[in-house]
Amino acid sequence: MGKKITLSITPEVGGYVRRRALSGVGSMKNVVATGPSPASLVNVLGGVRPAARATGMGTDTVYALCRGEGSISSYRKLAAAAGLSVEVVRGKSRAWQTLHSSLDMTWRTPPEVWRMVLVRLDIHQFTLDPCSPGPDSAIPCADHYTPAEDGLSRSWGEPGGAGAVWVNPPYGRALGSWIDKMIAEAYRGVKMIALVPARTGTKWWHKAIDAGAEAEFLRGRLRFLDGDGNPRDAAPFDSALLWWNAGAGLVHTLDARPAGLVG
């Protein structure tokens, strides 16, 4: 078999449909082909009737494929007749796409997580949230910087204070810049707790640890909240807290799983 075509499952489909698609069952409407379209494959095979003869399928089935309909299994037969193999992959879920967008700030921390941090620090509110989605944020803090106020360019407070800064940075390309900002503030002596993906193989992770951050790995995967405060599906990665100048609250792995954690 020659070149491989990838069918990427669309983000909108539910779990049952996704599982069927991964096993090669279901409609072509639930996948996106990163390769020749069915109509292109039919042309390669010489048209609808030759394609039907080459695949053993009816002409109605071939016509349906050309219209973007038909089944994944029928598309496999069409591709095989053209000397191509087909692989069905999960694709990137809408959760993954949004969480990895540098511009999106609407994925809010489950309250069980920041409440746990407040309890362990024995404080009632944070001094600052420099990555706040806006004044309607449920996280109690004395001050906040919205995206328009650009927390990267501002001071995060005086060092050695009694409070602590809460940081849930964007998880896209800008994350490295936020880590650099945390390092700079940590060197000033600012106390911070940051919620980040547990990507221990990345350069930014090692920069943070080398600069004194203490990592606490969360059991299970977080269910972040949308802009309306509703839980999303479980995040597509593990999470960790980075404690800066605040080691008194640290235990290296949470023993309990708050309601915002799954798995």
For the stretch 6-20, pLDDT in tens is 888 877 677 788 788
**159-163, 173-177, 189-193: lowest mean pLDDT where?**
159-163
Kindly report the three-state secondary structure assignment for every residue of the chain. Answer: CCCEEEEEECCCCCHHHHHHHHCCCCEHHHEEECCCCHHHHHHHCCCHHHHHHHHCCCHHHHHHHHCCCCEHHHHHHHHHHCCCEEEEECCCCHHHHHHCCCCCCCCECCHHHHHHHHHHHCCCCECEECCCCCCCCCCCECCECCHHHCHHHCCCCCCCCCCCEEECCCCCCCHHHHHHHHHHHHHCCCCEEEEEECCCCCHHHHHHHHCCCEEEECCCEECCECCCCCECCCCCCCEEEEEECCHHHCCCECCCCCCCEEC
Q: pLDDT value at position 247?
A: 65
pTM equals 0.58
Whether 75 shows a pLDDT value over 50: the answer reads yes
Q: pLDDT value at position 238?
A: 87
Tell me the pLDDT band of 223, cut-offs 50, 70 and 90: confident
